[in-house]
A and B are shown apart, each in its own frame.
Chain A
Amino acid sequence: MEDYKFLFKVVLVGNAGVGKTCLVRRFTQGLFPPGQGATIGVDFMIKTVEVDGEKVKLQIWDTAGQERFRSITQSYYRSAHALILVYDISCQPTFDCLPDWLREIEEYANNKVLRILVGNKTDREDREIPRHIGEDFAQRHGMYFLETSAKEAENVERLFMEIAVELMEQAKCKELPKYDGSLGPINGKTTSVGDSGCCLRS
């Protein structure tokens, strides 16, 4: 039996080619594999980190961005503790799709899920989405925000560590996790995005 105190599921979503797999690889294996092929379905990685001397196991689900895998990826939203929504700062269309992704998250995910907006590829010279635009979007929708570069290993560790810290705080707040039957219905019409209490940590 592995020794860990908390287990959290983190799911990455976002358009194809924004660098979800690279973020996961960089964090779990310290690699930046160039010429990465498109992810098929859902990939699964595990990394155990330590927060305040406690072992936290992060189960990271890296989803395919392509439309035809939507049925598969949607099924992973519900059990996620954190959802990382990724766009490419050098590709406007990936940013324009964010509202669609949010709709999907609202439809399928637990309404208490921790949501993080990530602008990836800060190493690129041809930035199309200024940082404050992404920040505004995140704030409007009650999400955390971070810009990263999987290639330069910038903010990647921080992204996942902050998620681990935040989730652990949440878990400790409701210590003795009692089943409260409030998990969002799989196809229910959950409304109201974001608890206004969200603050930006960037």
Chain B
Amino acid sequence: MSLSLLLEKYDVSTEEGLQKALSEIEKEETEVDEALSGALSRACVLEGRLRSASQAYTKLGEVKADAQEAANMVDRTAALAKDVSAKVRQLDLARSRVAECQRRVHDLIDLQLCSAGVEAAIKAHDYETGAGHVARFLSMDPGSVAAARARGAADPRDAMAKAADTLRDHLVRKFEEAARKDDAASVERLFKLFPQIGRAEEGVELLAKYLAAQAEVTIRRASVVSDANSDAAVFADALTRVLEAAAAAVERCRSAAALHAPGLLPRAVHIIQPTVCSGARRVYRELVSRRRVQPGHAARAPLSALAAEPTLVELALAHNTISLYFTFLRRKTEADASSLNDAAKKASKDAIEKIIAECDLMRAAQDLLGHYLALERYFLEENVNKALKMATPQTGATQSSLVDDIFFIARKAIRRAVSTGSLEGVCAVLNDAGALVERGAAALRRWLRAPQDVLPLPPPPTLHTPSAAGVLDAAGSLAARLNRDVDAQRDLFLAHTNETEAGGEWSERLAAEACAEADVLVRSDSDRDKLQSCAAGLAAAAAAYRAAHELALDGIKAALKPRVVAWAEYIADPGVEPEEMEEDADALPIALDTLLESARTQLSSRSTEAVLLALLADLAARAEARILHHHYDREGGLVVERRARRLASWAGGNIPGARERVSRLTQGAALLALERLAHLQDVLAPACRLPPNLVRDILARRTDFKIEDIKRLKF
């Protein structure tokens, strides 16, 4: 604290103040003294530290020199190590070159041994050893020989190649000899050597030639049909024998070559196939001429549909045998190439497909299918013609069911087409069958269109109502007079009606069945599309049957019309004696019961319902209209209402959904039976089914209601 401050702080004018200032100054003085002595005491310590620091610095310089030396040493070591490893690498290279040299020397020595060995083996007929030498030669590093030649030595391969050729010539000669002698064991033994001498293809070809020659004998024997006139499928059997012999040859070749030369089966098939084709063609020619299937064949025309059947079966069988053989070839080729890479597999597959597509057997199969289809079409047409003839309405004679006949024939043909094993065939038969099935529908339609004068159902009993009875009696007697065979005609019409219904169901069923049965022949999506499209053509015939069915039902409805007119008149008729009322109200349900009963026995339930629903709707509409032609008192109205209610309850009890159809009539009749106009709302609740004008018109039919009152009604 400075003196001036001290002087300001303390009052120096007084003693006390001076005293205080003095003591303060003294206190500060002692503090400064203490601080000074403290600083002086630390000075020696600091000095000591400075000394030690400078000593340490000199030591660090030594450490640095040491470290530098160490770093130099590491560098030198690294350089040395690099030198060493370079030398090791050089050594390695040198060693591998030595090894290669050794191998080549060995190869060269072997080569000489081999060519000498081959010759020795040939002389000793020890072909296995010879082939072993050649195999060794083929597995040699080509560099060895090149190196030897580069040094100016004579090409040692020449001698070896010559020896290998000699061996091959020997093997071929021996193989051919063995084949001539039919020495199967030698053939197999020699065949195995060809892959060893690098000539697997040649071996397979030789083997195939041998097998083809063998198969030819078998095939020639198999293709002879002793009993050519037999009705049994002798030609198809012969074809089966031929193709079995062929398959045996192919299988033998495959099993021999599988281990040593995979993927070469198409080459073998290519050699064996012509023999098979010529054998099959012989059988085919015989078949065509004996079975008279050639189109335009003079003798074919009288061939009846019945007589065509065994031939059809035989043609289908023959075709199927060929397709099975082709499938066999495809499968075996695939198995044969299974151990190869994808490219080789594909090459093998393409090769066999090419052989199959181009061989004469394929043509024979196509020709067979052509003949089969032509004959099948003829069979279908003839049979459908016959069925149409048998089913053509002739009064007095019993008819067979057209639809049953047609679908039986169509189904038979389609199943047979599936048995050919050809999807093309199935599609074509489906097309043809579709046409014929539609012909059936057209015939039925024609017959059903013939005018119907008579009620196609037994006449329901007449009602004991004077006005209605007259109409019904007239219709009945007219019908009876028109034709003595009313019953027969009626039955025929109903039978045809039912047939149209069955035909519709059958068409769809047959199409679905055909798709399911032919599914085994489908090999691709487009195949499936094709099959389904052709089957859809058959299913489309269902529409034709449905249309004919509609026509038939219309016919029935039209024939029932006079009765409906009479019944409508009866419902609307106000006049009845009070004691007859109960009996009167039951008359219509009884008549309808009779109608329903006979309809049920003669028609399907679906058709019955359709007819009766239409009838009830028509009846209700007509009765509603008739009501407007009469005048009623309360009694008369009650009679009509009772009849309408009975009709509604009958409809509700017998035909599903029919009560709705007569609900308007019931409401109209209830209007007629009103006790007083004020009760109108009870009748119209819960819903008014009649238009307001009609409600007023019906109410106006009541003689006891006033027109002005009716006009005032609000609803």
Interface residues of A in 132-188 (CB under 8 A from B): 178-179, 181, 183, 185-187
Determine whether the beta carbon of B381 is less than 8 Å from that of A186.
yes
Determine whether the beta carbon of A186 is less than 8 Å from that of B377.
yes
Determine whether the beta carbon of A79 is less than 8 Å from that of B530.
no
Determine whether the beta carbon of A79 is less than 8 Å from that of B434.
yes
Determine whether the beta carbon of B547 is less than 8 Å from that of A76.
no
Q: Which residues of B have CB within 8 Å of A70?
A: 370
Say whether B441 faces chain A, with CB atoms less than 8 Å apart. Answer: yes
Interface residues of B in 366-383 (CB under 8 A from A): 366-367, 369-374, 377, 381
Mark contacts of A49-90 with chain B using CB atoms, 8 A cut-off: 1 yes-contact digit, 0 otherwise: 000000000010000000011111001101100000000000
Determine whether the beta carbon of B432 is less than 8 Å from that of A75.
yes
A75, B507: Cα distance in complex, Å: 18
Determine whether the beta carbon of B377 is less than 8 Å from that of A69.
no
Q: Which residues of A have CB within 8 Å of B589?
A: none
Q: Which residues of A have CB within 8 Å of B529?
A: 44, 46
A40, B422: Cα distance in complex, Å: 12
Say whether B363 faces chain A, with CB atoms less than 8 Å apart. Answer: yes
Say whether B424 faces chain A, with CB atoms less than 8 Å apart. Answer: yes
A128 smallest CB distance to B (angstroms): 29
Determine whether the beta carbon of A72 is less than 8 Å from that of B526.
no
The residue on A at minimum CB distance from B362 is: A40
A41, B435: Cα distance in complex, Å: 20
Say whether B544 faces chain A, with CB atoms less than 8 Å apart. Answer: yes
Most-contacted residue by chain A among B370, B381, B431 (CB, 10 A): B431
Say whether B427 faces chain A, with CB atoms less than 8 Å apart. Answer: yes
Q: Choose among A40, A44, A187 the residue that contacts B530 (Cβ–Cβ < 8 A).
A: A44
Q: Choose among B377, B435, B438, B442 the residue that contacts A71 (Cβ–Cβ < 8 A).
A: B377
Instruction: State whether A181 and B445 are in contact (beta carbons under 8 Å apart), knowing that A69-B366, A79-B537, A186-B436 are contacts in the complex.
Output: yes
A181, B438: Cα distance in complex, Å: 8
Say whether A129 faces chain B, with CB atoms less than 8 Å apart. Answer: no
Determine whether the beta carbon of A75 is less than 8 Å from that of B445.
no
Instruction: State whether A179 and B533 are in contact (beta carbons under 8 Å apart), knowing that A68-B363, A75-B373, A75-B428 are contacts in the complex.
Output: no
Q: Choose among B373, B429, B439, B441 the residue that contacts A186 (Cβ–Cβ < 8 A).
A: B439
Q: Which residues of B have CB within 8 Å of A69?
A: 366, 370
Say whether B543 faces chain A, with CB atoms less than 8 Å apart. Answer: yes
The residue on A at minimum CB distance from B444 is: A181
Most-contacted residue by chain B among A41, A46, A181 (CB, 10 A): A181
A35, B372: Cα distance in complex, Å: 31
A59, B4: Cα distance in complex, Å: 124
Determine whether the beta carbon of B370 is less than 8 Å from that of A181.
no
Most-contacted residue by chain B among A37, A40, A44 (CB, 10 A): A44
The residue on B at minimum CB distance from A45 is: B526
Determine whether the beta carbon of A186 is less than 8 Å from that of B370.
no
A-B residue pair count with CB separations less than 8 angstroms: 75
A89, B547: Cα distance in complex, Å: 46
Instruction: State whether A186 and B432 are in contact (beta carbons under 8 Å apart), knowing that A179-B544, A181-B441 are contacts in the complex.
Output: yes
Q: Which residues of A have CB within 8 Å of B367?
A: 68
Interface residues of B in 10-64 (CB under 8 A from A): none
Determine whether the beta carbon of B544 is less than 8 Å from that of A181.
yes
Say whether A42 faces chain B, with CB atoms less than 8 Å apart. Answer: yes
What is the total number of residues of chain A having a CB less than 8 Å from a CB of chain B? 24
B24 smallest CB distance to A (angstroms): 113
Q: Which residues of A have CB within 8 Å of B374?
A: 71
A183, B435: Cα distance in complex, Å: 9
Determine whether the beta carbon of A75 is less than 8 Å from that of B530.
no
Q: Choose among A46, A68, A186 the residue that contacts B435 (Cβ–Cβ < 8 A).
A: A186
Q: Which residues of A have CB within 8 Å of B435?
A: 78, 183, 185-186
The residue on B at minimum CB distance from A180 is: B547
Determine whether the beta carbon of B526 is less than 8 Å from that of A44.
yes
Q: Choose among B431, B439, B445 the residue that contacts A79 (Cβ–Cβ < 8 A).
A: B431
Q: Which residues of B have CB within 8 Å of A178?
A: 547
A89 smallest CB distance to B (angstroms): 29
Q: Which residues of B have CB within 8 Å of A79?
A: 431, 434, 537
A44, B527: Cα distance in complex, Å: 8
A42, B533: Cα distance in complex, Å: 13
Determine whether the beta carbon of A187 is less than 8 Å from that of B381.
yes
Determine whether the beta carbon of B377 is less than 8 Å from that of A75.
yes
Q: Choose among A42, A72, A76, A183 the residue that contacts B370 (Cβ–Cβ < 8 A).
A: A72
The residue on B at minimum CB distance from A72 is: B428
Instruction: State whether A181 and B442 are in contact (beta carbons under 8 Å apart), knowing that A68-B367, A71-B369 are contacts in the complex.
Output: yes
A70, B369: Cα distance in complex, Å: 10
Q: Which residues of A have CB within 8 Å of B372?
A: 71
Determine whether the beta carbon of A71 is less than 8 Å from that of B373.
yes
Determine whether the beta carbon of A42 is less than 8 Å from that of B424.
yes
A186, B439: Cα distance in complex, Å: 9
Q: Which residues of B have CB within 8 Å of A37?
A: 357
A45, B365: Cα distance in complex, Å: 25
A37, B350: Cα distance in complex, Å: 14
A47 smallest CB distance to B (angstroms): 13
B527 smallest CB distance to A (angstroms): 9
Determine whether the beta carbon of B431 is less than 8 Å from that of A78.
yes
Q: Which residues of B have CB within 8 Å of A75?
A: 373, 377, 427-429, 431-432
B532 smallest CB distance to A (angstroms): 10
A180 smallest CB distance to B (angstroms): 9
Q: Which residues of B have CB within 8 Å of A76?
A: 428, 431
Instruction: State whether A185 and B439 are in contact (beta carbons under 8 Å apart), knowing that A71-B373, A72-B373 are contacts in the complex.
Output: yes
List of 5 A-B pairs having minimum Cβ-Cβ separation, nearest first: A71-B373, A75-B431, A41-B424, A186-B435, A75-B428
23 A–B contacts, CB within 8 A, in A order: A40-B424, A42-B530, A43-B526, A44-B529, A44-B530, A46-B529, A68-B363, A68-B366, A69-B366, A71-B369, A71-B370, A71-B372, A72-B370, A75-B431, A75-B432, A76-B428, A78-B434, A78-B435, A79-B431, A178-B547, A183-B442, A185-B435, A187-B377
- What 18 new A-B contacts, CB under 8 Å, besides A78-B431, A183-B438? A40-B357, A40-B424, A41-B424, A42-B424, A44-B529, A44-B533, A68-B370, A69-B370, A71-B369, A72-B370, A72-B424, A72-B427, A75-B432, A181-B547, A183-B442, A186-B435, A186-B439, A187-B377
